[in-house]
Amino acid sequence: MPAATPAPVSPGAASTTPLAPAAPPAAATPPPASPAGRLRWARFLPATVAEGPGRRAALWVQGCRIHCPGCFNPELWAARGGRVDDPAALAARLLAQAQDGGVEGLTLLGGEPFDQAAALAVVARAFREAGLTVMTFTGYRHPSLTAWADDGREDVAALLAATDLLVDGPYLRDHPDRRRPWLGSTNQGLRALTPAYAAEVARLEREGGADRVELRLTRDGGIEVNGWAEVAALEELLDGLDGARLARLRRPTGPHLTRTTEGAPR
């Protein structure tokens, strides 16, 4: 857990710049309501230091209706694929793994978490009730989410209420953010919805921060990549790997990572 609890912060306090006009239209319309008892997800890491502040678990959901041009996880757009589980049962399993990994919180990515807000709220609440924090990435803007919640979208309200740190706004590839960690483009907000990370958001606003990328070797000799990195840095990191190993490269996650259609970085 964070070493100290920051002073209270106004809900939604954020580091952000105005939304550019090229945002995908779907980002401005509310997502259809989804079932609370069914979660479609793609990947889980029980411990990582590349997907938010501190050591965290990370859950990538399957399905996104926003479709940001230049998105580096288009394989997570489809509402098919991945795995489907009861969110309460899944939360219990993932929480046990995360606690074994000694994490301070859970990061929700995708895909689009708010397209499955009701089910993910169940997962997020389970982690919060265990004393862990929750960070959520979304292509929707925070003002839109709060307006939909105020207009009766209980699922959206529930996931917002279970989120400590929110990255909001669509990814705009022509506006890369190279100053703040974890964000893909300068229009996106980094918002402390609770006091848990208010001091960290304020620090990043003043000083900026560095991204990280992680590589893991699989049992079959392949490589899994997650995190955030400039293309040149990733190419240098992977320089010298043979073609067979690159062919088994797990598709990277995060807007600063690129790869060919076969999954190898370019």
Q: What is the pLDDT of residues 233-266, one digit of tens each?
A: 666 666 766 554 444 444 444 443 332 222 322 2
Average pLDDT over residues 159-183: 94
Q: Please state, as a whole number, how many other Cβ atoms lie within 10 Å of the Cβ of residue 79.
A: 14
Find out whether 106 and 76 touch, Cβ atoms under 8 Å: no
The percent of residues in the chain predicted with pLDDT above 70, rounded, is: 72
- What pTM value is reported for the model? 0.79
Copy the structure tokens of residue 229.
């990195």
Instruction: Return the minimum-mean-pLDDT range out of 38-42, 215-219, 252-256.
Output: 252-256
What pLDDT sits at residue 236?
A: 67
DSSP H helical ranges for 45-167: 87-100, 117-129, 142-150, 154-161
What pLDDT sits at residue 71?
A: 87
Q: How far is residue 215 CA from its own chain's centroid?
A: 18
Average pLDDT over residues 183-195: 95
Domains and CATH numbers, the chain: 35-207 (3.20.20.70), 211-266 (no CATH)
DSSP H or E segment with residue 40: strand 39-48
First-to-last CA distance in the chain? 37
Whether 50 shows a pLDDT value over 70: the answer reads yes
Average pLDDT of every residue of the chain: 82
Whether 1 shows a pLDDT value over 80: the answer reads no
Local confidence band at 10 (pLDDT 50, 70, 90 cut-offs)? very low
Instruction: Return the minimum-mean-pLDDT range out of 119-123, 184-188, 242-246.
Output: 242-246
**Chain segment 62-73, per-residue pLDDT in tens:** 999 999 998 878
Find out whether 118 and 35 touch, Cβ atoms under 8 Å: yes
Whether 119 shows a pLDDT value over 90: the answer reads yes
Average pLDDT over residues 152-173: 97
d(CA 60, CA 80): 14
The more confident residue out of 164 and 7 is 164
Local confidence band at 209 (pLDDT 50, 70, 90 cut-offs)? confident
Q: Please state, as a whole number, how many other Cβ atoms lie within 10 Å of the Cβ of residue 260.
A: 10
> Any residues with CB less than 8 A from the CB of 165 and at least 6 apart, and which?
52, 53, 133, 134, 135, 136, 190, 191, 192, 193, 196, 197, 200, 201
Q: How far is residue 173 CA from its own chain's centroid?
A: 17
What pLDDT sits at residue 228?
A: 62
